[in-house]
Amino acid sequence: MGSLLAVCLLALPALPPQEVDAGAKPLDELLLRYAASGWSGSVLVARDGEVLLAGGYGFADFQADRANEAGTLFELGSITKSFTAAAVVKLAQQGKLTLDDSIAVHLPGVPQHSREITLRQLLTHTSGIPRGNAKGRGEDLAGAVVDYLGSGPEAIPGKKFEYWNGGYALLAGVIERASGRSYTQYLEEELFAPAGMSDTGFTGDSDLDATRAALGSSRDGRDRTALEHPYQDYGYQYRGMGGIVTSVLDLAKWERALATHALLDEAHTRTLFEPAKDGYALGWKIGRAVNGSLRQAHGGAVRGFVSEFRRYPAENACVAVLCNRDDQNPQEIADNLECLLFDRQLATPPPKGELLSRAEAGVIAGSYVGAAGKLVVRAAPGVL
């Protein structure tokens, strides 16, 4: 019976989740085709500071018959690094540190072999520390420093890009020691609140509405909600590198706050987006969009959730794709949305299939009883 239900879910075409403006229909139809093939998540596309489309597709929680919406909460994974980097730059703006400080100025017990590493090098993944170093542990910052730095850099600091999560865990400790506040408190007070991001917090946050948290479907079978910790707690094994929980609506507010310098002045905003090695700036990947415009982006992947966020400063535009299935490809969807945003041919052909109207889908949805048992067909935005 379970396999029959799965076949029905995959085979039936999608239904429109809501009425959209004429200009947003190509975006919506693209997402409906992805949803009909099993994709599930929320998306926002904005240009000239105005939201063109914001909505959910598929189920936030299939078992609870709860559909994704624009306000559904997802865990961001490594997009959190963009916020961690902005917090460090904010501390520089406040005169609490400089980006070229040795990490030994702000972290306890840094071994001699790692004292040449700077905060900027942690931010740009150019510390020289190999990515495979051991994870940190709980609230023990001194222990995390030893764990992460290991036997020291394998490359000269500043000379080579190697993506390293541990550097951002250490930066969380820097934020705490330089500000005198917890990492979560500093981000809430200095980034989220000024940006108006009232629906943003962290895994384990009891202040967020758990009824709006998406259930993340994991390939390893260990599903979890966006508010559940993927790694026991929010200690240095994950803090700073991941763990922010938010909606696509709040990500649009984040983009506007960066664009209007509500968080960082012009000079420090330029610093945030200045690329180092391999086009990686401070918590952002810098590149070019399909129309040649500047693109500032980051993706995320953690158990149950994958994501992609992009901003295009010249067009005052952004694309946010948050998914609650970790076997999905948010970059492909973001690529195609970017193509539509800038009137270019799609980068990847979307799944094929005819779309049902809401009325047609409503006729199909319901309970069916036969010799094999009972089949329940449910409708959610973009999928039956």
Question: Could you identify the residue written with the tokens 């942690």?
Answer: 122
Q: Is the pLDDT of residue 360 over 80?
A: no
**pLDDT tier at 135, thresholds 50, 70, 90:** confident
Q: Which is higher by pLDDT, 58 or 3?
A: 58
Q: What is the pLDDT of residue 5?
A: 33
- For the chain, list the domains and their CATH numbers: 78-202+234-243+258-284 (3.40.710.10)
For 32-56, what is each residue's pLDDT tens digit? 999 999 999 999 999 998 999 999 9
Q: Is the pLDDT of residue 364 over 80?
A: no
For 74-107, what is each residue's pLDDT tens digit? 999 999 999 999 999 999 999 999 999 999 999 9
Mean pLDDT of 270-297: 99
Residues 6+ apart with CB under 8 A from 41: 56, 57, 58, 68, 74, 321, 322, 323, 324, 325, 328, 330
- DSSP-assigned letters across all residues of 202-270: ETT-TTS-GGGBPEEB-TTS--EETTS-SSSSSSTTTBTTB-EEE-HHHHHHHHHHHHTTSSS-HHHHH
Q: Is the pLDDT of residue 361 over 70?
A: no
% the chain with pLDDT above 70: 86
CB 158 within 8 A of CB 126: yes
For 189-215, what is each residue's pLDDT tens digit? 999 999 999 999 999 999 999 999 999
* Count of beta carbons in the 10 Å neighbourhood of residue 344: 13
Q: What is the pLDDT of residue 366?
A: 46
The mean predicted confidence, pLDDT, of the chain is: 90
